[in-house]
């Protein structure tokens, strides 16, 4: 990266000292990660933000929903800054609050809302998290989806009963967790399509379902294919395939390991030297893993380049701008969630943080 910008970022961070805390998601560029005080997956970063009550400014190098969650979990005196407001998430955008409210009304009309608990992936807007809080549900991340689903089913009579989970907005994480970890079947899962009347489901399908999966997905992880897994197995003898649970069910089924970004890193770090891996997650992380663990052979699961374009919006120029502005006494791009929305969302986030494990 540009040495002038690197020097400016260093100088600004030194001038700000402990008044600023920089969080970096694993999918961020190397040039940004270099200035992160901590790195992590979305679960770890939410906890890390909450654990820093003394820092008046939190600069969040990640995407908008993560910065919102950090704002909700930190005190009113702290300000969360997102260096580029265009760093959104296409998956989070697939569930608009009006669509979700409409879905819930239809579940009420169908007589199933009373035995349904919403479980919402971290990758969602604050408004959807607030909806989840208002209806007694919890947030989950890819690290604790199983625990969150166990908890949710307990609220409606356990796995053996006829209670349901409305899982938002990533159908793949919901399906993969329910089928592979809870022992539900693919037939127990239905997909609610917000663009079709009644979600595209019949009353019978809705009545029989255990998991109502929102029709959302990650545009990055959704691209990994069964063919790519098969090609890797053909081309690399003894290869281990590790993928993120946002990948499609067929892909996850054919992988050796599945886990959040944090789990992917730990698994590769713990593997014996000389192990070959192909990794199905965002490319910045895969490249960093390859550089960090030169004794492993680490390759990307797709032949094509596949960055998360919105994660990549946060680059060194934006970070320098955010930090230097603070040095000059100006706050740029603060993320401030409406207090009522934040209070409702907080109840759902607190339920997640109280989950065992
Ligand atoms: P985790 O950080 O929870 O693994 O999520 C991956 C992701 O897609 C974040 O946007
Ligand atoms: Fe959203 Fe996928 Fe990018 Fe994560 S990787 S921010 S889920 S689009």
- Domain spanning 92-217 has what CATH number? 3.40.50.10800
Residue whose Cα lies nearest atom 1 of ligand 2: it is 89
Annotated binding residues for [4Fe-4S] cluster, as ranges? 89, 218, 308
> 156: Cβ below 6 Å to ligand 2?
no
Nearest alpha carbon to residue 142 among 91, 104, 95, 99: 91
The CA 92 to ligand 2 mean position distance, Å, reads: 8
Average pLDDT on 46-72 reads 92
The CA 276 to ligand 2 mean position distance, Å, reads: 26
pTM of the model: 0.95
> 142: Cβ below 6 Å to ligand 2?
no
- The ranges assigned to domains in the chain are 3-88+311-338, 92-217, 221-300
- Which ipTM did the prediction report? 0.96
Read off the pLDDT band of 256 (50, 70, 90): very high
Q: Which atom of ligand 1 is nearest to the CA of 89?
A: 10
In this predicted model, what pLDDT tens digit does every residue of 221-250 receive, in sequence order? Answer: 999 999 999 999 999 999 999 999 999 999
Do 3-88+311-338 and 92-217 come out as alike in CATH topology?
Answer: yes
| Residue of 42, 221, 302, 312 to test ligand 2 pocket, by largest number of atoms within 8 Å of CB | 221
Share of the chain above pLDDT 70, in %: 100
pLDDT at res. 94: 98
Nearest alpha carbon to residue 74 among 59, 91, 95, 94: 59
CB 145 within 8 A of CB 177: yes
Query: Torsions phi, psi of 70, nearest 5?
Result: -65, -40
- Domain spanning 3-88+311-338 has what CATH number? 3.40.50.10800
How far apart CA 11 and CA 281 sit, in angstroms, is: 33
Residue 324: is its pLDDT beyond 90? yes
Read off the pLDDT band of 171 (50, 70, 90): very high
Read off the pLDDT band of 304 (50, 70, 90): confident
> 308: Cβ below 6 Å to ligand 2?
yes
CB 279 within 8 A of CB 289: yes
- Domain spanning 221-300 has what CATH number? 3.40.50.10800
| Average of per-residue pLDDT values in the chain | 96
């Amino acid at each position: 990266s540009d040495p002038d910008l690197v020097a400016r970022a260093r100088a600004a961070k030194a001038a700000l000292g402990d008044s600023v805390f920089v969080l970096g998601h694993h999918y961020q560029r190397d040039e940004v990660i270099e200035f992160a005080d901590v790195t992590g997956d979305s679960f770890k970063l939410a906890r890390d933000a909450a654990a820093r009550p003394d820092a008046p400014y939190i600069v969040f190098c990640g995407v908008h929903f993560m910065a919102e969650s950090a704002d909700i979990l930190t005190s009113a005196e702290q300000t969360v800054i997102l260096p580029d407001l265009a760093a959104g998430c296409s998956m989070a955008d697939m569930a608009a609050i009006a669509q979700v409210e409409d879905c819930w009304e239809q579940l009420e009309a169908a007589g199933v809302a009373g035995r349904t608990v919403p479980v919402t992936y971290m990758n969602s807007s604050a408004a959807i998290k607030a909806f989840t809080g208002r209806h007694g549900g919890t947030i989950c991340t890819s690290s604790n989806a199983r625990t969150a689903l166990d908890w949710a089913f307990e609220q409606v009579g356990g796995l053996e009963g006829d209670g349901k989970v409305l899982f938002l907005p990533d159908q793949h994480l919901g399906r993969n967790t329910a089928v592979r970890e809870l022992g539900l079947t693919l037939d127990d899962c239905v997909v609610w399509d917000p663009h079709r009347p009644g979600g595209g489901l019949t009353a019978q399908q809705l009545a029989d379902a255990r998991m109502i999966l929102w029709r959302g997905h990650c545009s990055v992880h959704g691209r990994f294919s069964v063919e790519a897994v098969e090609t890797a197995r053909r081309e690399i003898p003894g290869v281990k395939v590790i993928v993120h649970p946002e990948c499609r069910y067929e892909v996850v089924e054919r992988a050796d390991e599945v886990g959040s970004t944090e789990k992917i890193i730990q698994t590769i770090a713990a593997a014996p030297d000389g192990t070959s891996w192909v990794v199905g997650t965002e490319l910045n992380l895969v490249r960093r893993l390859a550089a960090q663990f030169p004794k492993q052979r680490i390759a990307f699961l797709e032949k094509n380049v596949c960055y998360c374009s919105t994660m990549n919006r946060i680059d060194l120029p934006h970070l320098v701008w955010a930090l230097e502005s603070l040095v000059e006494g100006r706050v740029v791009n603060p993320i401030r969630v409406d207090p009522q929305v934040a209070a409702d969302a907080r109840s759902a986030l607190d339920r997640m943080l109280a989950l065992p494990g």
